[in-house]
Structure 1
Amino acid sequence: MPKTIQTRRVFKAAALSLLLGLSVAATAEENRSVQSSAVDKEAPIHALETLSSIKNAKPLSVTVPKIEEFTTKSGIKVLLVQTPTLPIVDVALRFNAGSARDGEIRPTGFGIAGMTAAMLTQGTKTLTEDDFTKAAETLGINLSSTAYQDMFIVSLRSLSDDEHLLPAADLMSQMLTEPTFDSTILERNKSRQLVGLKQQKQDPAYLAAIAFSEALYGDHPYAHPTVGTLETVPTITKEDLTKFWQRYLVANNASMAITGNVTRAQAEALANRITKDLPKGQAASTLPEPQPLTAPKHIHIPFDSSQTTVIMGQLGNKRATDPKAQQEQTNFAVGNDVLAGGDFNARLMTEVRQNLGYTYGISGGMSPMLTRGPYQISFSTRNDKARAAIDASLKVIDDTLTNGITQSEMQLTKDSLKNSFPMSFSSNASINGTLGMMNFYNLPNDYLANYNRRIDNVTLASVNQSLRSNLNPDKFLIVTIGKDNPWENKTKPTKKKRR
């Protein structure tokens, strides 16, 4: 799935600093030099062109990590990258077992996957909750489990010497194969979860996200929140968790990523040690395809606040696995970065924030998943400006689809994406996350090696066609959370027809 807009902005800033050879805090002399140049403040792209350090910079030389592949004795595919620089090892075991599977255990069992993940580290057949925590802390390891919509991740970080890594692997194996799901701890967890859910009811961004998912997906498994609801969490039982664990946390439903200071032989032994007692089981079934909305839909939820939270969007795409579809998603990613990326060169940010002053920030993007994930744009604005901000945003989108982005916008974005690319494997954890994503979604092992090639293959015609093919703002779902309903007593402006 995709990084957040905020993370992408950090990546771009770091890559740009590296490209320029500058520290984040420029010297006073450098500041005076830039200020004395003839810079058009209304044209940030042209302003960048006045900096000789950018114009004369050589392309970054990128060496992607070497990916090795093997299969455990239990049949689990493992991707390995050896990184001997630090004496640590990261292991992540991913199961096709996110909250989208809750309804397969029980039709109204929303929150089962999340609760199962929480309780894997809360006691086994031979270790109480306190003993398990003490064992992990004594070894100095990070051992956790988390459920998302598509996937269920059990991860380990340990020192790489046998004295720490081997008992850590045994503890990870034990939590996977011998959880107790203690009833007393379950009731405590449910009480805490209910408190958290009640607190989230006071967060308009959370309410908007839930309403958006429910309206976009209807009765599809992606419609409900991973944490469950106030109505479903109290109904979760030990039997539910046991059924989920037995059905989905099995070898035939798993993939693994290992990164760190280990040899190939050590990695194979480690993977087999962790998974040797996992039952074979069966792979999860294919998720159903969600159906797109056939007409625009506007939902307003009253909320006593001076701000209105807005989420607008539609169904997006599933994670692409073949080269042609991956290139198409790259084309769209470049175009959307120009339209709705998180930086100040993006068209939505320039118009809705800088020119009109309606919001502090607006951004959006696609979240490809096992099946069609959402495309959504979000922002907050004053109550009395909500409708104007929505209309302005739709106008920017419509103008972009009608007239396309420009060559200079496309080139700036392509350079930015290529220069920030190395940050996706700048640490042990980031490499492991990328490996795990590739393995889970069955991406080819040359996915990273071909990244820059896909960026180079992007053309202006392909970008603009991709935007027009993927976005349909005339049928957007728009959710607003605020004091006033922006749709009351107002009519939408007539939009010109796109070519």
Structure 2
Amino acid sequence: MKNTKMTTASTVSMAVLIGLTTWAIPAQAEEATDYRVPAMIDNSAPIAALSTLTSINNAKPLKVTVPSIVHFNTKSGVPVSFVRAAALPIVDIDLRFNAGSARDGSLRADGFGIASMTATMLTQGSKKLAENDFTRAVETLGIDLSSSAYKDMFTISLRSLSDDEHLLPAVDLMTQMLTEPSFDKATLARNKARLLVGLQQQKQDPSSLASLAFNEALYGKHPYAHPSSGTLTSVPSIEQQDLIAFKDRYLVAANASLAITGNLSIDQAKKLAEDITANLPKGQAASVLAEPKALTKGQHIHIDFPSSQTTVLMGQLGSKRATDPKEQQQQTNFAVGNEVLAGGDFNARLMTEIRQNLGYTYGISGSMSPMLTRGPYQISFSTRNDKARMAIDASLKVINETLAQGITASEMQLTTDNLKNSFPMSFASNIGINGLLGTMNFYKLPDDYLTNYMSRINNVQLAEVNKTLRDTLDPNNFLIVTVGQDNPWDQASAKPQ
């Protein structure tokens, strides 16, 4: 049986810290004659083993020293954030461009999938090395070298040992794929054929169908509406020249930011940054994305799918990445409140009521995904077909009651304690530190965004948390997408049994 992915303490911390909340639509649950979950844990009862740990009550406030960040610009103007981490002989490099799939339509109206295909093909050979030779060189060095396209950003990442014998040829491969990709036509044709098979298979995945329908309905004509990988209609039209045009327009110095973490001196880091960016065209920064328009009334969409389970995805337009300290505090307030309402653990209200008390689902959670413009807020779960309407109604009831009555002081305290004590896990590794650096650099967040994290948590006030929840969420105007055999809106709305 597949369970919904639970949110770990470190993930909760990252959700509030940098907003990198990854929502996952629960996998389709297996059939069961009795959908109620037996032998559920009673969270209201104290845990005997923990009741003896009186030292927890006397623990001193956590003191955290965040990594020291050094900033500089390359000669081509690329901003660089560097953290020296000498404990391991490893270097992590994170090069980001304001060039995600939201830019596909700027090249041509039906260009969906160009950014994603460009990312795929950067690692498939350069003008100096054919695909097999390039792959062999990467494997021989034992490095991790990848490129990816998301809604907002285009990333190139490298992890290598820090000695010159490994790092220098690794950086050479990175610059080859960045500035001299082959974009071989035969390889492109193979990629398109494989991708089309994958897109066809998505039609058999209810979670994918729900996500596609949700984004299309929520964003309408906004660039976030289309899938990053492209569509069955757009992918066949992608040509080599499209990839070249994307690279020449967006993979440029004026559109880039760089993060480096590892066993390097500041002089070595500066030289490394110059080596990576020296051959980047200057170019121009990408234009500012338009703000999407929020739905003015609730909308229900049902997709017929032959399954004993109904996948439910509901939510609304959410927040954009906050750069103002006041807005950052508000987003922290919301994250704390939402963790109580819709976090992935068993203390969350939705999980307690919809899974434990009513037995409608194996897991339910919701999160905010802020981006350059307003990202989505989504709650997801799967349930038995004949329980879908009751599960949706019960979920909306929990949300409305939470907004009306607010979360409690004890719920808030439990969540803030969790966040503060798990905070150091966010930079417990080189790759974790570099991920933070890359995100802060990309969204132009100041260093005190990281150093003031504990202060933002300590500044959380119950009244402000509840106010932010009420100001942000509007369940009466939720977009609700269901994928299953029966349309829940044909079922009578009934009180949960």
What is the TM-score of this pair, normalised by structure 2? 0.91
Retained in 2: the 8 A contact 1:113–1:241?
yes
Q: Comparing both chains, which one has the higher relative contact order based on Cα–Cα distances under 8 Å and sequence gaps of 6 or more? A: 2
- State the Cα deviation string for residues 367-419 of structure 1 (Å, max 9, x = none): 00000000000000000100000000000000000000000000100001111
Q: Give the count of matched residue pairs.
A: 465
Change (3 A) 1:8 1:451: farther
Q: Distance in 1 between matches of 2:377 and 2:46?
A: 27
Match of 1:113 among 105, 112, 115: 115
Give the superposition deviation at 1:60.
Answer: 3.0
- Equivalent position SS for 2:66: coil
Retained in 1: the 8 A contact 2:9–2:418?
no
Give the superposition deviation at 1:184.
Answer: 0.3
Aligned residues: CA RMSD? 1.8
Q: Distance in 1 between matches of 2:456 and 2:160?
A: 35
Match of 2:427 among 419, 425, 428: 425
Q: How is 1:417-456 mapped onto 2 (pairs within 5 angstroms)?
A: 417-456=419-458
Q: Distance in 1 between matches of 2:121 and 2:435?
A: 23
Partner of 1:11: 10
Where do 5+ consecutive residues of structure 2 fail to align? 15-40
The answer as to 2:178 corresponding to 1:212 is no
Retained in 2: the 8 A contact 1:105–1:244?
yes
Change (3 A) 1:252 1:368: same
Partner of 1:402: 404
Give the superposition deviation at 1:10.
Answer: 5.1
Q: Which amino acid aligns with 2:459?
A: N
Q: Distance in 1 between matches of 2:375 and 2:350?
A: 22
- Equivalent position SS for 1:442: coil
Partner of 1:480: 482
Q: Distance in 2 between matches of 1:41 and 1:126?
A: 63
- State the Cα deviation string for residues 395-453 of structure 1 (Å, max 9, x = none): 00000000000000001000011111111111111111110000000100121110000
Match of 2:185 among 183, 186, 190: 183
Q: Which amino acid aligns with 1:402?
A: A
Give the superposition deviation at 1:12.
Answer: 6.9
Q: Which amino acid aligns with 1:11?
A: S
Change (3 A) 1:252 1:12: closer
Q: Distance in 2 between matches of 1:314 and 1:187?
A: 38
Partner of 1:18: none
- Equivalent position SS for 1:308: strand
Match of 2:204 among 171, 179, 202: 202
- Equivalent position SS for 1:448: helix
Partner of 2:106: 104
Give the superposition deviation at 1:57.
Answer: 3.2
Q: How is 1:219-238 mapped onto 2 (pairs within 5 angstroms)?
A: 219-238=221-240
Give the superposition deviation at 1:166.
Answer: 1.2
- State the Cα deviation string for residues 114-166 of structure 1 (Å, max 9, x = none): 00000011111111111111221222211110001100000111110111111
Partner of 1:22: none
Q: How is 1:259-408 mapped onto 2 (pairs within 5 angstroms)?
A: 259-408=261-410
Retained in 1: the 8 A contact 2:332–2:456?
yes
Matched residues, percent identical?
69
Q: Distance in 1 between matches of 2:216 and 2:408?
A: 36
Give the superposition deviation at 1:7.
Answer: 7.2
Partner of 1:122: 124
Change (3 A) 1:486 1:172: same
Q: Which amino acid aligns with 2:450?
A: L
Partner of 1:82: 84
Change (3 A) 1:446 1:492: same
Partner of 1:43: 44
Give the superposition deviation at 1:236.
Answer: 0.6
The answer as to 2:59 corresponding to 1:60 is no
Give the superposition deviation at 1:175.
Answer: 0.9
Partner of 2:33: none
Change (3 A) 1:7 1:58: farther
What is the TM-score of this pair, normalised by structure 1? 0.90
Q: Distance in 2 between matches of 1:116 and 1:353?
A: 42
- State the Cα deviation string for residues 215-250 of structure 1 (Å, max 9, x = none): 000010000111111111111111111110100000
Match of 2:162 among 153, 160, 163: 160
Where do 5+ consecutive residues of structure 1 fail to align? 16-39, 494-499
The answer as to 2:459 corresponding to 1:460 is no
Give the superposition deviation at 1:61.
Answer: 2.7
Q: Distance in 2 between matches of 1:404 and 1:44?
A: 22
Q: Distance in 2 between matches of 1:480 and 1:213?
A: 13
Give the superposition deviation at 1:491.
Answer: 4.8
Q: Which amino acid aligns with 1:301?
A: I
- State the Cα deviation string for residues 80-128 of structure 1 (Å, max 9, x = none): 1110000010001000000000111111111100000000111111111
Retained in 2: the 8 A contact 1:49–1:55?
no
Change (3 A) 1:49 1:299: farther
Retained in 2: the 8 A contact 1:90–1:429?
yes
Retained in 2: the 8 A contact 1:93–1:257?
yes
Change (3 A) 1:278 1:94: same
Retained in 2: the 8 A contact 1:115–1:241?
yes
Q: Distance in 2 between matches of 1:138 and 1:41?
A: 53
Q: Distance in 1 between matches of 2:13 and 2:457?
A: 19
Q: Distance in 1 between matches of 2:257 and 2:217?
A: 32
- State the Cα deviation string for residues 469-489 of structure 1 (Å, max 9, x = none): 000000000000000000015
Q: Which amino acid aligns with 2:391?
A: A
Retained in 1: the 8 A contact 2:12–2:419?
no
- Equivalent position SS for 1:349: helix
Give the superposition deviation at 1:200.
Answer: 1.8
Retained in 2: the 8 A contact 1:12–1:419?
no
Partner of 1:242: 244
Partner of 1:19: none
